[in-house]
Amino acid sequence: MSIRTCQSLLVLSLLSACAGSTAKLDPSESALGNIPGRWENAFVEVEGEAGKLRIHYVAAGRKDAPRLILLHGFPDFAYTWRELVPMLSRDYRVIAPDLRGYAATGKPKAGYGLDALAADVVAFADATASADEAPAEVATHLLGHDWGSVIGWWSVMQAPTRFTSFTAISVAHPRAFLEYLEKSPEQRKKVRYMRTFTLPGVPTFFAAMSDKKRRAVYQSELVHKEAFDDDDLVWYRAAFDTVAETRPPLRYYKQRFRDAEINEKKAKEAAKIGIPVLVLWGEQDKHLMWRMAADSCKYVAPGKCRSHVFADAGHWPHWDNPKGVVEQWKAFIAASAAGEVGTGTTPASVASGEPAPAAATTP
């Protein structure tokens, strides 16, 4: 057992012992509200479309620096950005929340539709900027993975001028995703798990996982298995080891199907995204096909979108290749500042023999 694993277990045991059952803890006193790392833990209360929500987040970097908000997916939480936060906080104020229903953030029964989740993100951006006393005109970039990307796409569609740029990891623009589902039987087969996640016994299944099974679930999505180790397992067990922890995140999937018709209509009617967009993908993603990365650029204003596919990554490119993700993002931001997103191409490094959506940009 590593020193880091021992430290994590000690934090978990001490906080639980001092305050009693974690189910009754105030989140600020819980282990998940005090995740050790090269960041600070904080809370902010926001007023969103679905009412008040207390959000836990980790943050690092100068408070007056340009801002970068990182949105995680499922089954995940703010800890997912453990590699990116130290690398990016040298130049940015990096802020990563636990989304609604996750970890140390509030777990209301409602508010899991995309409109409400996007409203959470905008309110969170405003509230944390106020808490940091950030300059009024400071740039605020948005980056998401998995469900964080879904919510990110919706946020920049609903609030088109609030963010300076948007980066989506492993999830396509909602309209590109719908079109790909229609034309690809293989992609339809790959996302059947989403319907499975709405079944009644699934929260208990996730909560009751053995350490061996939980580790296997995460490592199965990675090319570099060592990117998820025993140190990380400690925290993912804590975040998803009870039904009270697993049920709220799974509400995202139930609400997705309830709102499918109206959200499809909204996606088709939405204007092209006007801010710079970067789409990153892992070629080895088992659930979402990398070909959708380039297709997403069709729904961004001309000259403002690029995509990149990592040959050495699965569903979590920021775990498989964190340095590569940071390099691609920084190059994209530099190109955005120079007004060259659509001309400074980013070659996709796809290892297969198929033609890649390489250097994909809007015309």
Q: What are the sequence ranges of the domains in the chain?
A: 3-337
Decide if pLDDT at 58 tops 60: yes
Residue 11 CB contacts under 8 Å (≥ 6 apart), including other chains: 31, 34, 36
Decide if pLDDT at 321 tops 70: yes
**Residue 178: both structure tokens together:** 């719908």
- What are 221-250's pLDDT values in tens digits? 999 999 999 999 999 999 999 999 999 999
**Which DSSP letter does residue 182 get?**
H
Greatest mean pLDDT among 3-7, 48-52, 178-182: 178-182
pLDDT for 64 equals: 97
Decide if pLDDT at 349 tops 70: no
Q: pLDDT-derived band of residue 1, with 50, 70 and 90 as boundaries?
A: low
Decide if pLDDT at 219 tops 50: yes
**Residue 113: both structure tokens together:** 């539709």
% of the chain residues with pLDDT over 90: 85
Is residue 144 classed exposed, middle or buried when 0-12, 13-18 and 19+ CB atoms within 10 A define those classes?
buried
C-alpha angle with apex 317: 61 to 7, nearest 5 degrees?
A: 55
Decide if pLDDT at 343 tops 90: no
* Radius of gyration, CA atoms only, the chain: 19
In sequence order, which ranges of the chain are alpha helices (DSSP H)?
3-19, 84-88, 114-132, 147-158, 174-183, 185-190, 193-196, 202-207, 211-219, 230-239, 243-258, 260-269, 292-296, 317-320, 322-337
Strands 51-60 and 93-97, by their bridges, are antiparallel
**Which DSSP letter does residue 280 get?**
E
| Contact between residue 237 and residue 245 where contact means Cβ atoms under 8 Å apart | no
**Which DSSP letter does residue 80 get?**
G
- What are 114-168's pLDDT values in tens digits? 999 999 999 999 999 999 999 999 999 999 999 999 999 999 999 999 999 999 9
Q: What is the mean pLDDT of residues 12-38?
A: 70
Secondary structure (3-state) at 229:
coil
pLDDT for 50 equals: 83
| Contact between residue 296 and residue 279 where contact means Cβ atoms under 8 Å apart | yes
Strands 67-71 and 93-97, by their bridges, are parallel
Q: What is the mean pLDDT of residues 334-344?
A: 82
Q: pLDDT-derived band of residue 4, with 50, 70 and 90 as boundaries?
A: low
The CATH architecture annotation of domain 3-337 reads 3-Layer(aba) Sandwich (3.40)
**Residue 250: both structure tokens together:** 């799974």
% of the chain residues with pLDDT over 70: 88
